[in-house]
A = this chain, B = another copy of it.
Amino acid sequence: MVQDLHGFFYPRTVALIGATDKPDKPGRAILENLAHFSGAVYPVNPRHATLLGHHCFPSIKDVPEAIDLAIIALPASLVEQEIDAVHAKGVRNVIVISSGFSEAGEQGRMMQQRIADKAERYGIRVIGPNALGIYNTENGLDSFFVSRERVSRPAAGRLSIISQSGAITVILMEALSRDGMGLAKAINYGNRLDVDEADALDYLADDPQTGAVAMYMESVGDGRKFLAAAKAFCEKKPLVVWKAGKHEMGAAAVASHTATLAGTYGLYQAAFRQAGAVEAYGFDHLIDAAKAVALMEYPCIGDRLLVVTNGGGMAVAASDQAQREGFTMPAMPHAVRERLQQAFPAFFVTNNPIDITGSGNNEDYATALAEALPHYDAAVVIVLMGATTVTEEATELIARACHAAKKPVTCCILQGLGYTREAMSALLKLGVPVYPSPERAVRALAALRKATCKDAGSE
């Protein structure tokens, strides 16, 4: 029985083969990032006695402790012999950072195959090559060769990332940090010599820290294995997956990028549907949908949408998108309308959308949601922070009203400068996902609906 990925995410001891103090080298950035790891770190490099304050070992074999995880950050041509060394040391888990393998032509492909054969023979599991590897918020394990100055690491959260592309992985992490969204774990498996997307899904399905997964894939390692893993995963947790290389031109780019076949997009779509995964249509949609499913846990949601706004134009945009996504927007029940009319000035619109206009204040949002939300399945709340009557405190009132009604709600706040950004982060921290346009707020809610009700239709 092949061991699962626990040893990759929770090693007690890590050896970094190819550690260095040379700036711009992956082995330097990783060594610095491993300073945040709660376990023991052993740099390996025969040309150094010490590195950044660590004792440095000529070979992994010289490390006086058992090693749970080896990270190899050497030029491609030097990797194969290190597989023998880590085997001799009894290491079972290896991350190969190095690029220059199957993505770089025939010679690289052959090198990669030899490593794969050796690893299988030795019973060693390998992530990579041509990969960033693992980031685990819980214990600070971080094999990414990008500095924290350049790519900030998100705080702890419920979302995990599985990505074939390193670039997409770091961009996702950067976007989560920027928005104040948390991360549980991230894995970038690169050339997929051994560990693939299905292995990652299997592991994260049972990971108590992971509440949902955002996934980027260009191709699949083993179609049947992926479908089985995705199905099993979606029984437990929401999965949002973005398959790039959909069309001919994208597929050609995939061939250059990961030297894999992007395959027929229709087959992927069918697999995602069968598994119950939410398909994202691009980068924005992936992160938007991931936020919604990671922050909100609900059983199957109905299609009756409420929209609350202080700017009518934004509600029109939301209504157009709501129709595209398969929502309905039933009129305000008569009794509720009467109560809203008593509570509000005459010029507020008490239909659905509710429009508290540029004169509406924080409490008006709370009133609108308290009265109307119980009569709908979900809501999109649009807050134009430009109105002088709306302040940052609106976020707490809105979040409280949503939680009281126990209904899923997404917000739209333009990500402007200063206080709008703070309002956005405040709402996110209260568990209400926020989006920079009304269309995206509606689309994210639709993604949550698809994730929770396997047959919720749209588009």
The answer to whether A253 and B175 have CB atoms under 8 Å apart is no
CB distance from A21 to the nearest CB of B (A): 14
A210 within 8 A of B: no
This chain's copy number in the assembly:
2
Contact of A257 among B284, B324, B349 (CB under 8 A): B349
A312 within 8 A of B: yes
A170 within 8 A of B: yes
Contact of A417 among B152, B284, B420 (CB under 8 A): B152
A318 to B168, CA, bound (A): 13
A165 to B357, CA, bound (A): 11
Contact of A256 among B23, B178, B349, B414 (CB under 8 A): B349
**Interface size bracket, A side:** 35 or more
Main secondary structure of the interface of A (DSSP, over half): mixed
The answer to whether A99 and B347 have CB atoms under 8 Å apart is yes
The answer to whether B253 and A416 have CB atoms under 8 Å apart is no
Contact of A165 among B99, B313, B324, B416 (CB under 8 A): B313
The answer to whether A320 and B417 have CB atoms under 8 Å apart is no
A150 to B166, CA, bound (A): 38
The answer to whether A311 and B147 have CB atoms under 8 Å apart is no
What 0/1 pattern do residues 83 to 110 of A give for CB contact below 8 A with B?
0000000000000000110011000000
Using A244-B313, A317-B244 as known contacts, say yes or no to A283 and B438 having CB atoms under 8 A apart.
yes
A58 within 8 A of B: no
The answer to whether B104 and A313 have CB atoms under 8 Å apart is no
A366 within 8 A of B: no
The answer to whether B250 and A316 have CB atoms under 8 Å apart is yes
Contact of A388 among B24, B164, B436 (CB under 8 A): B24
A contacts, CB < 8 Å to B: 23-24, 29, 99-100, 103-104, 145-147, 150-152, 163-168, 170-171, 174-175, 177-178, 216, 218, 244-250, 252-254, 256-258, 282-284, 307, 309-324, 327-329, 346-347, 349, 351, 353, 355, 357-358, 384-389, 414-417, 420, 436-440
